[in-house]
Structure formats: structure tokens, C-alpha cells
A and B are shown apart, each in its own frame.
Chain A
Amino acid sequence: KNQVEQSPQSLIILEGKNCTLQCNYTVSPFSNLRWYKQDTGRGPVSLTIMTFSENTKSNGRYTATLDADTKQSSLHITASQLSDSASYICVVKGQGGKLIFGQGTELSVKP
């Protein structure tokens, strides 16, 4: 069964600290992997899209990694800010273009 599992389910960190969110997937065949940020009460916003051949991709303070062999991805946030508080959703695109969403990691950045 095609699944996307994210961990941790929730995370609290202090402003200025770094953190890493994990995404494991069983989707096969694999087309690409996406990370989205979703603020409370808003729609998700795309952070990165990584294809099979890409190992690392950065977008400002966000860096995503992908290991297609182990079917794992991570999203690293550097020097966190209060505005980083949000849900981070990992999405894998599989066969036929179907998008499979993880349940998200709820990040809370405290002052």
C-alpha cells in the first residue's frame, strides 16, 4: 500500500534553534517528493519539489534531503523563527501522477 509517514507528529522548539522533520514513504514507483508548509487556517504552500535524482534542495532556511534508496526524506529548518510555526506536510507523487499526503508534523516555535 502506498503510504507516507511523517515524524514526529508534533514538535516544540525555541526560536533560533534548528530542527529536522522526517518523512518515510512506501510509494512505488516514485515520481517526486514535495514539502509543503501550512499555516493555521490557510492552504498549504510549496517549499520544495525533489525528483529521483536530487539529493538536496534548499529554499532559504529550509533544506530538504532525499534518499530514494531508503525512501526517506527530511526537512531541516535552520535558525527557526516564530513564523515557522506551522504544519509541514510531505507529499509523494506516485504512478499516474497520484499525490499521496502525509499527515503532517505540527511545529511550534516558542520565543
Chain B
Amino acid sequence: DTGVSQNPRHKITKRGQNVTFRCDPISEHNRLYWYRQTLGQGPEFLTYFQNEAQLEKSRLLSDRFSAERPKGSFSTLEIQRTEQGDSAMYLCASSLETGGNSPLHFGNGTRLTVT
């Protein structure tokens, strides 16, 4: 399978714990995005990378959230001191951005439940 891979698929954690998610994009894709999605809503932008550079972060992203993409390959999203409001599906997407009309290829997400 050469699509976008996300791990784990599900994560249940207690409030206050830290969690880390991993995303492996399609290998030749230079852009990588993180989104958060709650039930009945469209994905909400969190941050994106062009190769290893983090180019934009949503103003909605609190300082408890951090993302990295070392060497421009896989990416990790860490949430520190989780809160119940962090419960959501966290989606990763990648694209090969050339002319601006490239589709995003999404992974199947990591569903986070904070108890």
C-alpha cells in the first residue's frame, strides 16, 4: 500500500497525558498537512510542512500541540497535557504541489479519545 499511513488508528488516553501520532506520507510528496475533524464537521486545518519546513500553523492550535517533519519524510503530531476537548479524528494528508491543483491524499486518521 503506497498511500498515506497513520498510526495508531485509535488512541484512548486519560486527561493530562501526552500523546504522539505518526504520519507516513506518499514518498515523493513534498507537502504534508495535519487536520482535526470532529463528528459532523469538515476537517479543520492545524498545520502544514513543505519538505521539512513548517510553513503555517493555525491560530486555533494551542501551544500544547507540536508537529515535526524531520528530514522531510514522516511527521509526528504531539499533544501535551491532553484535554477532553482534544477528542477528535486527527487526519494527515500529503500532496505533490506543483501547479496548485494537486489533490490531497488523506490517511485514515488517528481517532483520539480523552477520558
Q: Which residue of A lies closest to B6 (CB)?
A: A43
| Contacting pair A51 B104 (CB below 8 A) | no
For the complex, give the distance between the alpha carbons of A45 and B108 in Å: 10
B91 near A43 with CB under 8 A, answer: yes
Minimum CB–CB distance for B47 against chain A, Å? 13
Q: Is there an interface contact between B40 and A44, defined as CB atoms closer than 8 Å?
A: no
Does A42 contact B108, Cβ atoms closer than 8 Å?
yes
Asked if A49 is at the interface (CB within 8 A of a chain B CB), the reply is yes
Are A104 and B91 neighbours in the complex by a CB distance under 8 Å? Answer: no
Given contacts A43-B106, A43-B107, whether A49 and B101 have CB atoms under 8 Å apart is yes
Q: Please tell me which one of the listed residues B43, B100, B111 contacts residue A44 in the complex, with CB atoms under 8 A apart.
A: B43
Instruction: Decide yes or no whether A89 CB sits under 8 A from chain B.
Output: yes
> When the two chains form their complex, are residues A51 and B101 in contact, meaning their CB atoms are under 8 A apart?
yes
Number of A residues contacting the other chain (C-beta, 8 Å)?
A: 24
Question: A58: CB under 8 A from chain B?
Answer: no
Chain B positions within 8 Å of A45 at CB level: 106
B42 touches A102 (CB 8 A): yes
Query: B42–A32 contact, CB under 8 A?
Result: no
Q: Is the C-beta of A46 less than 8 angstroms from some C-beta in chain B?
A: yes
What does the 1/0 interface line of A30-53 toward B look like (CB < 8 Å)? 011010100001111110010100
Residues of A within 8 A of B (CB): 4, 31-32, 34, 36, 41-46, 49, 51, 89, 91, 93, 97-99, 101-104, 106
Spell out B's residues near A (CB within 8 Å): 4, 40-45, 91, 93, 97, 100-101, 103-109, 111
